[in-house]
Amino acid sequence: MTQRIAIYPGSFDPITNGHIDLINRASKLFDKVIVGITQNSKKSAFLSIDDRLSIASETLGHIDNIEVMSFNTLLVDFAKAQNAQVILRGLRAVSDFEYEFQLSGMNKHLNPSIETLFMTPAEQYANISSSLVREILSLGGDVSHFVPKPVETLLKKHL
């Protein structure tokens, strides 16, 4: 029997409670969920790839069927290399849909055997984004409601 494997890609800079909620819920739908952390050289990251891998592994360690990995290839190529059949994408608001729909179509064109599954966050996480967390932190605000404690500690160290 083929394992049902999904990839949840993103920069996770930093990983938020919203990401963790979606990953936790997805872990109940799939045999394995790979959290694929992108190494986008065109985007300057707040946290290093090593920090993002480490903190994601730490905060997701309680979920048995999760694997955290980095990649710097086309997402569909990474998915194929991992034998994944599904790409998970989170939709926080209607405004996310158009961009995600476009990506989904392009991924389907590049690899017709990969499906995209859109998931919405739990209501309390609908407004959380990594960029907002970084902005709040940079202005001295409290991010403790948006990220797990180890992430908050790491972010404060980097500030």
From the candidates 89, 104, 130, 134, give the one annotated as an active-site residue. 130
Closest CA to 85 of 103, 119, 108: 108
The kind and range of the H/E element at 47 are none
104 in catalytic set: no
From the candidates 32, 80, 92, 108, give the one annotated as an active-site residue. 92
From the candidates 11, 19, 52, 104, give the one annotated as an active-site residue. 19
19 in catalytic set: yes
From the candidates 28, 41, 42, 43, give the one annotated as an active-site residue. 43
Measured CA to CA, the distance from residue 93 to residue 126 in angstroms comes to 7
54 in catalytic set: no
Measured CA to CA, the distance from residue 15 to residue 11 in angstroms comes to 8
158 in catalytic set: no
Active-site positions read: 19, 43, 92, 130
